[in-house]
Structure 1
Amino acid sequence: MAAQALQTAATSVPRPEYPRPDWQRRDWLNLNGTWSFRLDPENENGSTQASAEFGSEIVVPFSWASPLSGIGRNERGIGWYKRDVTWSPEAKDSLVFLRFGAVDYRCDVWINGLHAGSHSGGYGEFEFDVTGIWNTGEANTIMVRAEDFDLKAQTRGKQGYGEIRGIWQPVWLESRPKAYIQQAKFITRLDGSVQANLTIAAGKTTEASLQFRFADGAVSHAENVTLAQGVNSVSATFQVEEPRLWSPESPYLYEGEIKLASNEGTDAVETYFGIREIGTARFGDRDYRWVTLNGKPVYLNGTLDQSFHETGYFTYPTDEEMRDEIYLAKRLGLNFVRIHIKPEEPRKLYWADKLGMLIMEDMPCFWGNPDEPTRAAYEREAKEIIDRDFNHPSIFSWIMFNETWGLRTDAETIALTSQDGGKAEATYLPETQEWVRSIYRWAKSVDPTRIVEDNSPCNYDKVESDINTWHFYINGYEQVRAHVTEVVEKTFPGSSFNCIGDNVQSDAPLMNSECGNVWGFVSGAGDSDLAWHYRYMMNEFRRHDKMCGFVFTELRDVTNEFNGYYRLDGREKFFGYEGFVPGMTLADLHAPDFIVIDAPPCQTLQAGERVSVPLLKSSYSDRYHGQKLTLGWELWHDNLGTRVTGDRGAIELDWNGYGVKEIAPIAFDLPKQDAVAVLAVTLRDAEGAVVTRNFIAFDVRGGSDVPVYDADGRFVAVPVTDYAEQTFAHQWNAIQSGKTNGGQSGKFVYDVKLPDAAEQALVQQVELYFEASSKRLLARNVEGARERAHGIDFMHGADAAVEYNSNTYYMTDNELHESRIDVLVDGEKVASFLLTDNPADSQGVLSYQYQEVHNQLDEAGSYGYLCKVVLPSSVTAKLDRSRAFKLTLEAGEGGLALYGRNAGRYPIDIVAHVR
């Protein structure tokens, strides 16, 4: 994928589409592609036009740090760009504008040697009217100077994964008549009324006709306006009959055109709007609010989107990849993404509008002190972002700051102003808190149609906000359950929890705005399975009526965080839920109508024990209200490769009302043998269609030193770590010695003793069972783990050294690691198996159940394949006499992992079934 993208960028115009599908004119010229370039890290040429020769070429619109730019140098400094362009507008006497999607950070532009303008800010769109210096019909030289020294006052955001340096969004020329529409902001209501607030520029005082035409003419409006010379504010209101509301389930857009006709020409802008209302409301007798979409509660199933591409960094190589990014989130059953510490590219926002994905958009942060110059730079850029993105119906929330980044005044500055001469610490000062409050209120004043959050916090330091969120990165079922419960109980109007200073909570909705198991571990999570943790965390969230959503970190892995639903290159991770409930996917955990199993993800209990499991219904949709839904359940287990169904039943539920309510518990008897038993539940509608699925597991103990399985004959078990000999170059045990590993080629040899003649007169048949997988060697398995603290440097791209991280055990994905093993009995080969992978996901139940420490993973989630060998009669005849044999499991270069009774997927050691 990466090589193909590089080739495409080098041989054609990258990103050829108009950059603003929400605000598009027909007469334009795309300036993406090859420009002459020179990188000046030391500012040797000063701030005027570059006089030296341009020694290289760059592919615009990609950051000069990114591979797709053709430069690939992550150096601060000044980038000089030059390109010769010949272009004439279609209409005579038109104005000519040079437009930039974004340039990081300070930008100066010259046309034919004359300065066209300057702009500061790394994320905002800007333009220059170059009409007076553009030579129509002749060659023009465009010179751009982009300065990026990572100053602390810059609104840098979270660029550590890959820096945006210089031009990093499209560049284009565009013509307009002398009277033109600068901007239109649509405010829609559920009754179909639409208010369009327009900013119109006119070269002189003139009469004009303003026309709106949408939905192929089904929506139209026209009125006459008088324009004064300069900038005019015009408001127009029109009605949409039988409005179709926008939502993730039905993302209808009213696409069309606005025209401004005057004696200075006709300006036509293609645009669109979606009719929807975002709000918060109380329901019933609750003293807290939920988030609403179109007047109804919406449960926000979301993910953090770093919006990072491995070759283009913050710039996607193609429009198709931006569309696919929204699709990848949507196929998981998610209904929103939080764009992290930056605004999104307009074309990706367009695909969110078009495909139906709600967006929580962050403002980019700065990393220095919140002093006056820094505040001014932030305020300027925040205005550009909200102005640009106002019309996207997908955006439901603005987040003004994240985790107090940039809001603390450093210790040195505080010490300089301190009167007591004491030791100072970096502090979120009261005056900064008041500035944040003013930013929240400013954002509400310029955009009252959306939810605004002051600071998405991890330090319990909110000031004033429309929504009450918090971050946590905690691993372990009991720890997550206790933490979420504590937050819910401490959240109520007037509570000082999660607030700083004298501020207290309002009745604002409660939701989580960052969670996951990428942090919360000793030395970070490395690259480990997340499926088990994710499922019980979803259950804990949906258990609480007060909570209305979450943001999981994150959509894709990034360069040093591996907690994504997908790999960075888009490869799928396999969560393994279908191994418990047929057809179950991640989307089942994101259903607006959900069944909470209010119990641990796995419990260790005795065979035959009677169990009662509490259940809750959680509904944030009225789709099935007033209907009867059927909750089917069954208890099943695997008996040495055979699926056995135990108790089962169905419960008819009257599905009414929003929120969380108790329903009748399910009671059943556990199997009377060693087993991993699964309680699988499926909620169906009246037509039998699946609404949602869920499950929990039980580690069922047979209660004997000898394993108990449902079969005739006797069982002999040998722990996998009780080998008599091993020849691997790298060998170690894991999961409290429940598992043994051999790296590269080698063998494990076991002494197996069968029942003697006094216990069993005749050995007629011997079946061998064991659970095995290949073994992928990591650097830490060979060289040892390297533990390191994960600090703020990770926000700036520090190397995760993932293969040295003690928590790393790669989650099951598309990349397979095979190994072939031979099974020998007393030196005679009796079977051979191809172990297709070294998997780790939720199916490794026992590898989770027997983790010793909640925040230190030991090959968690790892499991193997059930291997069954029926020994040939010739071998069995010998064993009838000897009653003992040497079992050899010999692996090729792919290595071998063996899972015992307390590890993996199956509750078995190396088992000989003797009949």
Structure 2
Amino acid sequence: DYTYTSGIWQTVWLEPVNKNYIKNIRLTPDVVNSRLKVVVHAADAQVSAVVLDGKKVVTESKGAAGNEFFIPIKNPKLWSPDDPFLYDLKLSLKDKTGAVTDEVTSYFGMREIKLGKVGGVVRPLLNSEFVMQVGLLDQGYWPDGILTAPTDEGLKFDVEFTKRAGFNLIRKHMKTEPKRFYYWADKLGVLVWQDMPAIWYQHEDTAKTRTVFRKELKAIMDDNYNSPSIITWVPFNENWGAFDVVEITDWVKKYDPSRLVNGNSGFNNNPGYQKAAGDPGNGDFVDTHIYIGPNDASKPDDKRAASLGEYGGIGLFVRGHMWPVENNAYGYEPTKAALSDRYVLLMDQVEQLMKYKGLSVAVYTQTTDVEHEINGLLTYDRAFEKMDVDKVKAVNQAVINEGKKIK
């Protein structure tokens, strides 16, 4: 129910290339074995790889285009929100004479995400440690460009604000972003859950809509595969347009076993026009949405971690910074101070759920106001901070730090 948009909304460019060029690369960190798996998509050619830490060469390796090969990373520096270290990577494509026909530079982060038991509770583990994921629902809308950010600085601003407010997670909701957004998440150190944008009427023209959905889901995963900040794929949200949820959740996990999958975030909510697909029972999370919450959030089972995929959504009216429609939220506070205190109370409750009910993820709605919704930490124009950011950061970090004590 936001402004409808269509057409090209991300940057498009043309680039001259040689006949044999690097079409794509696929980078998979293997922390356990201290190595990086690399696949370079190009015609038959030799590939040379150089890994750098700043200007210092860490290691060099060779492989063949179209085949996976491994680059050893001795005593790797691990990527995390606390220390988002990135290695630089130079890949060169060489023909039979040894001449370089194409060369690209990239980067990668050495990090591992998996499930494991901590104190008998299934939780997500980042580099073998439980890190409580304290996140913001981020829809990436803008008052001037709708889906299109005005500048790269605009994309950076939202990620930077999230970090400054003490969050360590962004749930990118119902949208994919230009690569620069994920670059800033990688660089600044913010975990990302990536949603698949939903279809709505999944039972209409099924041969077309379901086929396109599957094709675009794969394309999104391929396009953003190399980003270390992305740790979870979310194929469906609140049963919107949901179909074959169990099968698609399994497919996502098999296609990218290096990440977690949340098959149907907020399966306890459902549009009235359809029968709910519900909890798929597979994937890596038991995930409910509770407004205002956070009480009654999901509990882990014997195979999946517990996530509160959305909660909060408390609004504040800020005159001069609202979309010219009737504005709304799930609840309201009269002042910035009251809203800030309310958020602290909610996070105190989240901490209780983390410690005693097994909750591992909490995603607050939302980063900014979006058109009629006034429940952001920022106004839609990003001009006014609706909460005391220092207070928000303090309680977020306190909860994350308490999570580190769970053994």
TM range (shorter): 0.7 to 0.9
Distance 1:567 1:524 in 2: 13
Indicate how the Cα distance of structure 1 residues 576 and 452 shifts in structure 2: closer, same or farther if over 3 A, else same. Answer: closer
- Tell me whether 1:219 sits opposite 2:58 in the alignment: yes
Counterpart position of 1:190: 31
SS at match of 1:316: coil
CA-CA distance at 1:327 after TM superposition: 0.7
2:126 to 289, 293, 301: 293
1:509 to 288, 294, 305: 305
Counterpart position of 1:658: 406
In the alignment, residue 459 of structure 1 is paired with which amino acid?
N
1:375 to 192, 210, 219: 210
CA-CA distance at 1:380 after TM superposition: 0.5
Counterpart position of 2:247: 438
What is the CA deviation profile of residues 425-445 of structure 1, one whole-angstrom value per residue up to 9, with x for unaligned ones?
xxxxxxx4xx21111111111
CA-CA distance at 1:224 after TM superposition: 5.2
Counterpart position of 1:761: none
SS at match of 2:23: strand
2:16 to 158, 169, 175: 175
- Tell me whether 1:390 sits opposite 2:225 in the alignment: yes
2:183 to 350, 359, 367: 350
CA-CA distance at 1:236 after TM superposition: 1.1
Counterpart position of 1:245: 78
In the alignment, residue 564 of structure 1 is paired with which amino acid?
G
Counterpart position of 2:318: none
- Tell me whether 1:551 sits opposite 2:393 in the alignment: no
SS at match of 1:314: coil
Greater Rg, structure 1 or structure 2? 1
What is the CA deviation profile of residues 5-44 of structure 1, one whole-angstrom value per residue up to 9, with x for unaligned ones?
xxxxxxxxxxxxxxxxxxxxxxxxxxxxxxxxxxxxxxxx
Distance 1:444 1:400 in 2: 11
Structure with greater strand percent: 1
Counterpart position of 2:392: 586
Distance 2:75 2:300 in 1: 39
2:291, 2:330 within 8 Å by CA — same for their partners in 1? no
What is the CA deviation profile of residues 630-668 of structure 1, one whole-angstrom value per residue up to 9, with x for unaligned ones?
xxxxxxxxxxxxxxxxxxxxxxxxxxx416xxxxxxxxx
1:329 to 143, 158, 162: 162
Indicate how the Cα distance of structure 1 residues 572 and 172 shifts in structure 2: closer, same or farther if over 3 A, else same. Answer: same
Alignment of 1:409-420 (within 5 A): none
In the alignment, residue 401 of structure 1 is paired with which amino acid?
F
CA-CA distance at 1:210 after TM superposition: 2.9
Distance 2:406 2:313 in 1: 30
1:572 to 363, 377, 384: 384
Counterpart position of 1:562: 374
In the alignment, residue 301 of structure 1 is paired with which amino acid?
V
- Tell me whether 1:469 sits opposite 2:287 in the alignment: yes
2:52, 2:59 within 8 Å by CA — same for their partners in 1? yes
- Normalised to the residue count of structure 1, the TM-score between the two structures is 0.39
Counterpart position of 1:451: 260
CA-CA distance at 1:592 after TM superposition: 4.8
CA-CA distance at 1:362 after TM superposition: 0.3
2:88, 2:106 within 8 Å by CA — same for their partners in 1? yes
User: What is the RMSD computed on CA atoms of the aligned residues?
Assistant: 2.3
After TM superposition, the runs of 4+ consecutive aligned structure 1 residues lying more than 6 A away are none
Indicate how the Cα distance of structure 1 residues 241 and 347 shifts in structure 2: closer, same or farther if over 3 A, else same. Answer: same
Distance 2:228 2:388 in 1: 35
Counterpart position of 1:416: none
Percent identical pairs in the alignment equals: 30
- Tell me whether 1:363 sits opposite 2:196 in the alignment: yes
Counterpart position of 1:90: none
SS at match of 1:658: coil
CA-CA distance at 1:245 after TM superposition: 0.7
Q: How many residues align?
A: 373
Distance 1:196 1:576 in 2: 44
In the alignment, residue 75 of structure 2 is paired with which amino acid?
E
Structure with more contact order per residue of length (Cα contacts < 8 Å, sep ≥ 6): 2
CA-CA distance at 1:593 after TM superposition: 5.1
In the alignment, residue 312 of structure 2 is paired with which amino acid?
G
SS at match of 2:233: strand
1:302, 1:550 within 8 Å by CA — same for their partners in 2? yes
In the alignment, residue 587 of structure 1 is paired with which amino acid?
K
Counterpart position of 2:348: 539
Alignment of 1:687-836 (within 5 A): none
1:209, 1:262 within 8 Å by CA — same for their partners in 2? no
Counterpart position of 1:277: 112
SS at match of 1:327: helix
SS at match of 2:349: helix
Indicate how the Cα distance of structure 1 residues 592 and 241 shifts in structure 2: closer, same or farther if over 3 A, else same. Answer: farther
1:322, 1:348 within 8 Å by CA — same for their partners in 2? yes
What is the CA deviation profile of residues 91-149 of structure 1, one whole-angstrom value per residue up to 9, with x for unaligned ones?
xxxxxxxxxxxxxxxxxxxxxxxxxxxxxxxxxxxxxxxxxxxxxxxxxxxxxxxxxxx
In the alignment, residue 11 of structure 2 is paired with which amino acid?
P
What is the CA deviation profile of residues 834-877 of structure 1, one whole-angstrom value per residue up to 9, with x for unaligned ones?
xxxxxxxxxxxxxxxxxxxxxxxxxxxxxxxxxxxxxxxxxxxx
Structure with greater helix percent: 2
Distance 1:279 1:557 in 2: 33
In the alignment, residue 195 of structure 1 is paired with which amino acid?
K
Counterpart position of 1:693: none
Distance 2:300 2:37 in 1: 36
Q: Which moves more between the two structures, 166-175 or 193-202?
A: 193-202
Counterpart position of 1:722: none
Distance 1:296 1:533 in 2: 30
Alignment of 1:882-897 (within 5 A): none
